[in-house]
Amino acid sequence: MTAGGVTILWGVFLFLGGCGSAEVETLLWGHDMERRVEGKGVLVPPGIFMMGSPETEPGRYPPEQTHEVKLTRGFVILATEVTQGLYEEVTGGNPSKFSECGANCPVEEVSFVDAVRFCNRLSEREGLPSAYGIRGQRVTWNVDSLGYRLPSEAEWEYAARAGNKGRYPSGGPPEAVAWYQKNARGKTHPVGTLRGNGWGLFDTSGNVREWVWDFPGYFGTEYAIDPTGPTKGAERMTRGGSWSADDSRVRNAYRKPAPPSQKTPHVGFRVVRTVERVVEDAAE
């Protein structure tokens, strides 16, 4: 099935209620993206998972309270961070500090506003409605749009964990899944070159941190359905670790706020699209 430039290979998706585990399918995403390894997306079904980290987790920060989250809509998430090559193809420029790393390395030196503009341009290119309204630094999100967008913080962690309740994707150790302080040698690296998580996502723990939609805030402890964070704030959240992060900052639950205008070689992004339907478990 093809919808809006995204070739979706529909299958049966099994949701195991309460544990955040699901069968997912890797697919080719868009005509241009098919040519590159980073052009693969992961179709993630709705599900329930425990977001945040337990108080006993080494390296834990206070704003990571554990709470149960239910996501009611499936989404496709890019298996890797947006690369310099893809960013330049869509926008005509490459702002990255580590441009010598090559087209298959993550784009960085992009602000939150740069990232949402990229999403709208990609949607326009594929004939999809824009997910965002942008006026200067002010951004609004049409949550019903099927255009490209940044993940919510909950969507990002759900996809990054892939059912794993531990500190790192696939249970770690971090050097197996993340380009970070101990192995990155002070720079970014081509995407998808270390082990992926259980759902086929790469670099969620390292290479560059990733912009997500949410304003910063402490997690509550109550059950949440499709949370999108506070309704206002001066900063936006980033998730995942970067090439300069230590062990505590490449954990699945790690969160870091940043000004939406900030451009740094530590931060990039990946994109998602809401899908129109997935097959959920009959008991859900």
Q: Under a CB-based contact definition with an 8 Å cutoff, are residues 82 and 267 in contact?
A: no
**Number of folded domains that form the chain:** 1
Q: What pLDDT score was predicted for residue 239?
A: 98
Q: Cα-flanking dihedrals φ and ψ of residue 270, to 5°?
A: -135, 160
Q: What pLDDT score was predicted for residue 156?
A: 98
Q: How many C-beta neighbours within 10 Å does residue 282 have?
A: 6
Residue 284 lies in a domain: no
Please tell me the distance from the alpha carbon of residue 71 to that of residue 232, in angstroms, as a whole number. Answer: 21
Q: Which conformational region is residue 220 in: left (phi greater than 0), alpha (psi within -120 to 50 degrees), or beta?
A: beta
**Strand pairing report for 67-71 and 267-268:** unpaired
Q: Where are the alpha helices (DSSP H) in 75-224?
A: 84-91, 112-125, 153-161, 174-177
Q: What pLDDT score was predicted for residue 41?
A: 87
Residue 280 lies in a domain: no
Expressed as residue numbers, the domain containing 27 is: 2-274
CATH code of the domain in which 225 resides: 3.90.1580.10
Q: How many C-beta neighbours within 10 Å does residue 235 have?
A: 16
Residue 279 lies in a domain: no
Q: How many C-beta neighbours within 10 Å does residue 246 have?
A: 12
Residue 281 lies in a domain: no
Residue 162 lies in a domain: yes
SS3 per-residue string spanning 82-95: CEHHHHHHHHCCCC
Alpha-carbon distances of 203 from 59, 104, 169, rounded to whole Å: 19, 13, 9
Residues 6+ apart with CB under 8 A from 107: 81, 82, 83, 84, 86, 87, 94, 95, 96, 268, 269
Locate the DSSP E strands across 152-219.
Answer: 209-211
Helix (H) or strand (E) holding 225: strand 224-225
Q: What pLDDT score was predicted for residue 10?
A: 27
Q: Under a CB-based contact definition with an 8 Å cutoff, are residues 67 and 50 in contact?
A: yes
Residue 282 lies in a domain: no
Residue with tokens 């996809």: 159
Q: Cα-flanking dihedrals φ and ψ of residue 100, to 5°?
A: -70, -15
User: pLDDT (tens digit, 0 to 9) for every residue of the chain, 284 residues total?
Assistant: 333 333 333 222 222 233 344 445 444 444 333 333 345 789 999 999 999 999 999 999 999 999 999 999 999 999 999 999 999 999 999 999 999 999 999 999 999 999 999 999 999 999 999 999 999 889 999 999 999 999 999 999 999 999 999 999 876 689 999 999 999 999 999 999 999 999 999 999 999 999 999 999 988 899 999 999 999 999 999 999 999 999 999 999 999 999 999 999 999 999 999 986 444 443 33
Residue 240 lies in a domain: yes
Print burial letters for 181-202: b (CB count within 10 Å at least 16), e (below 16).
beebeeebbbbbebebbebbbb
Please tell me the distance from the alpha carbon of residue 156 to that of residue 271, in angstroms, as a whole number. Answer: 10
Rounded to 10 deg, the angle between the 84-91 and 112-125 helix axes is 70
